Amino acid sequence: MNVILRGKTKAIAEVMVEEGYANTKSEAVRLALVDFGQHHFGEVDLVNRKLEKLNKDIAEGRSKLLAPEEALGKHAKFLK
């Protein structure tokens, strides 16, 4: 994904880099998104959204649900 920053958003990203909060503008954008998520979405809400997406992917055949033995492979013997 490419994002073009202009105006205030560009200035903020540049200050974040200049002040050492981020190494690059891309990292500044990632940090800003994480901060936004922490302030606007509760952790439980984010986990539930992810679980809903995983369940939908499984139901639509885009992902496969593994049995514990399949997931652990040669380490399945430690289940008991």
Q: What is the pTM of this model?
A: 0.53
Q: Which residues, including other chains, have CB under 8 Å from residue 21's CB and lie 6 or more apart?
A: 28, 31
Which DSSP helix (H) or strand (E) runs through 14? helix 7-18
pLDDT band, very low/low/confident/very high, at 40 (cuts 50, 70, 90): confident
pLDDT at 54 over 90: yes
Q: What is the pLDDT of residue 45?
A: 84
Q: What is the pLDDT of residue 12?
A: 96
The domain locations on the chain are 7-79
Give me the chain's average pLDDT, please.
Answer: 91
Share in percent of the chain as helix, strand, coil (round to 5): 70, 0, 30
Amino acid symbol at 69: E
Q: What is the pLDDT of residue 77?
A: 85
